[in-house]
């Protein structure tokens, strides 16, 4: 195992490149960033030993770099950068602690990614690893092939794309776009406009408050829960599936302008479309 620590005076930008293993990021009220590189098998020890770990001066903030593939430079768009660049082959467990409000830029092949605490902007790309994040105070962008995605809350815009992985987002305060092919989609609370698209997976919004909600599927079922106090206008069409509602629906937007309005546009080929009261 290798342990490194660096004094920092505020949030950093954390950039991780890890093909296999786990990346475990935790934010805390700290003035020190800590990193551990732990080999998960005997063949990965050399990658730990050879890694270049250093604190570099930056513009507005310092740049914290952990480079396991020497000579490869990965930059970030904004703020300080913590770069963990792991070549093909090594499987590492990488626990990291950074100050609250740090941002993430993580790319993995099969490593699972967990983020505990409060983050600014988040950009995570994974092939088969699962992604689990707690509080994202900025924007969130997550792309996965077969890994599952779970995010507790996003204050900014959210963009989540997957092929076969399932995705669950606890709450989205701004606009959201969630797309998958065969995975299921669940948004537990939406406070703004939302676009959900799936081919064979189901898509569910447990509670929608206002904004335009677009839901599309081929064979998956679509469900929208309307929050109490919000009004609803619906344009729902399913070729062979059933369309049901616990609420009274109209063909025109409500004339009463008081209160938030949810405009649902739902389209499916063989899946069912349901409108329910939010629990």
Q: Is the pTM of this model over 0.85?
A: yes
Single out the residue of 12, 89, 17, 5 nearest to residue 47, CA to CA. Answer: 89
Instruction: Say if residue 126's pLDDT is above 50.
Output: yes
Residue percentage of the chain with pLDDT more than 70: 87
Quick one: DSSP state of residue 228? T
Report the alpha-carbon distance of residue 262 to residue 204 in Å, rounded: 15
Mean pLDDT of 90-94: 86
- Report residue 101: phi and psi, to 5°: 85, 5
Instruction: Indicate if the pLDDT at residue 194 is higher than 90.
Output: yes
**Would you state the pLDDT for residue 230?**
93
Calpha distance 212→195 (Å, rounded): 8
* pLDDT tens figures, 204-228: 999 999 999 999 999 999 999 999 9
Residue 128 in this model has a pLDDT that exceeds 80: yes
Residue 69's pLDDT is: 56
Three-state DSSP at 27 gives: strand
Q: Can you tell me the distance from the alpha carbon of 117 to that of 115, in angstroms, rounded to the nearest whole number?
A: 7
Is 91:41 a contact under the CB 8 Å cutoff? yes
CB-count burial class (<10 Å; 0-12, 13-18, 19+) for 42: exposed
Q: What is the pLDDT of residues 29-87, one digit of tens each?
A: 999 999 999 998 888 888 888 777 777 776 666 777 777 655 434 344 444 555 555 54
Question: What's the confidence (pLDDT) of residue 10?
Answer: 92
How do the domains of the chain map onto residue ranges? 1-126, 139-279
């Amino acid at each position: 195992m290798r342990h490194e620590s660096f004094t920092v005076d505020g949030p950093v930008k954390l950039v991780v490149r890890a093909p296999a293993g786990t990346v475990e990021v935790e934010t805390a009220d700290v003035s020190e960033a800590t990193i551990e590189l732990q080999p998960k098998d005997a063949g990965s020890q050399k990658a730990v030993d050879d890694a270049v770990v250093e604190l570099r001066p930056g513009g507005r903030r310092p740049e914290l770099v952990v480079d396991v593939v020497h000579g490869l430079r990965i930059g970030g768009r904004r703020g300080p950068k913590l770069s963990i660049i792991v070549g093909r082959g090594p499987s590492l467990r990488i626990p990291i602690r950074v100050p609250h409000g740090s941002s993430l830029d993580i790319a993995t092949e099969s490593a699972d990614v967990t983020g505990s605490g409060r983050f600014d902007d988040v950009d995570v790309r994974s092939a088969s690893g699962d992604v689990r994040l707690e509080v994202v105070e900025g924007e969130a962008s997550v792309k996965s092939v077969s890994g599952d995605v779970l995010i507790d809350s996003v204050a900014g815009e959210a963009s989540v794309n997957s092929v076969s992985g399932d995705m669950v987002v606890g709450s989205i305060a701004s606009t959201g776009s969630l797309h998958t092919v065969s995975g299921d989609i669940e948004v537990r609370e939406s406070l703004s406009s939302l676009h959900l698209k799936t081919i064979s997976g189901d898509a569910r919004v447990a509670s929608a408050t206002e904004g335009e909600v677009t839901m599309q599927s081929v064979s998956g079922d679509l469900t929208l829960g309307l929050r109490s106090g919000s009004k609803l206008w619906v344009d729902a069409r399913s070729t062979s599936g059933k369309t049901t509602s616990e609420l009274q629906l109209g063909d025109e937007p409500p004339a009463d302008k008081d209160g938030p309005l949810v405009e649902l546009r739902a389209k499916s080929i063989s899946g069912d479309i349901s409108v329910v009261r939010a629990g």
